Amino acid sequence: MRGKEVAVALGLAMILCALPSARAQQSVNDWAASLNEGYLVYPDQQYSYSSAVSLKLDVWQAQTKEPVPTLIYYHGGGWFFGDRTGALPYLMPWLARGWNVVNVEYRMSGTALAPAAVEDARCALRWVYRNAEHYHLDTKRIVVTGHSAGGHLALMAGMLTESDGLDENCPADASSEPPLKVAAVIDWYGPTDLNDLIAGANKKTYAQAWLGSQLNKSVQAERVSPIHHVHPGLPPILLLHGDDDPTVPYQQSVRLHKLLDDAHQINELYTIHGGKHGMFGEAEDVKAYKEVWRFLKQHAGIDVQLNAAH
C-alpha cells in the first residue's frame, strides 16, 4: 500500500472499532465506498506566507444542504517533524460524522522558532473565518484539536485573544471581522508549560529546539504556554492525557485543569490510566472518543452523530 492508502485503511479501522454490530460495519463500508459523494476536497490552500514558506491547509467540505460543524486539526511532532499528510487517521472519526475538516500545516522549529507555529495556528483560524462562506464552514461551531504539539497549538488557537499580540501576521480588519472564537478545544496530551520543558527535571530536547537560543526564551516560553492564558470567557476545553506519558508530563494537563477550575472555566481532564504518549490501544481509543462526543454535546451544544451508521 502507498502512504495515503495506509492512512485511509487505519482511519477506517478506527471507525470500525467504535461500531458494535455487523450491520453497523456494513454501514461504514457503504459510507467509505461513497465518500467521494459526500465530500469535496480542496488540498494545498495557502493560508499564509511567512519565513519564505507558503503555509497550506486542506479543506474537506461536506456536501450537505445544512451547515455542519467544522474541525480544525493541527498535527503533532514536537514542532520539529511531521506534516499534515500523516494526519488522515485522526480526521476519519470526524469525517464519519459528516463534519467539515480543515487540516493545517505550520512552520517547524527548523524554519522558525517559537512563537511561529502559534502564529500560524491563529492564522489558519483566521483563514477559516475569512473563507467560511466559500467553503460552507460554520464559524459558530468550530472545534480545534490536535495531538501532542498539535494539542498545544489547538489550546493556543482557542485560548488566545487579539490582545496577546500573536495575531499580527494575520491581522483582522477591525471594521468587518469579528474576534476569533471557537466552540470548543479538544487537546490530546499537548504541552501546557514550556518553561517546564526547557529547564529542570522535565527538560525535553524538542521544546529546547523550538525555543532555540533566543535571549528572552523564558519570556517566549511563557508567551506560548497555555497555563499563562487562562482567563474568563474561554471555550470549553477537554484535556485527554495518559498518566504514564514519557514525552509530555501528565502533570502539565493536571495543572492546566486546576487553573481552569480555579478560574471557573468549563473544562474536563480525561485520564488514560497507564497511557503513554498516544497509542493507547484500540479499546482506550474508542472510550476516549466517546468522551469527546459526550463533552461536545454537553458543553458545546454540538450533537455528534455517526453518519455512517444511519
Which pLDDT belongs to residue 16?
45
* For helices 282-300 and 3-17, angle between their N-to-C axes, nearest 10 degrees: 70
Chain segment 41-84, per-residue pLDDT in tens: 999 999 999 999 999 999 999 998 888 999 999 999 999 999 99
Beta pairing partners, 72: 102, 144
Place of cell 509530555: 248
Chain segment 2-22, per-residue pLDDT in tens: 444 434 444 444 444 444 455
Place of cell 455517526: 306
CATH number of the domain bearing residue 89 = 3.40.50.1820
73: closest CA among 53, 54, 96, 90? 90
Domain count, the chain: 1
Which pLDDT belongs to residue 24?
57
Which pLDDT belongs to residue 7?
44
Cα dihedral 229→234→237→243 (10° resolution)? 30
Q: Which residues contact 154 (CB under 8 A, 6 or more apart)?
A: 72, 74, 121, 144, 145, 146, 185, 186, 187, 190
Record the cell numbers describing residue 55, joined without a space: 503555509
Which pLDDT belongs to residue 34?
72
Chain segment 112-152, per-residue pLDDT in tens: 999 999 999 999 999 999 999 999 999 999 999 999 999 99
- Computed over every residue of the chain, the mean pLDDT equals 90
| Domain encompassing residue 272 | 3-309
Per cent of the chain over pLDDT 70 is 89
Which pLDDT belongs to residue 3?
40
Record the cell numbers describing residue 30, joined without a space: 457503504
Which pLDDT belongs to residue 6?
38
CA 9 vs. chain centroid, Å, equals 21
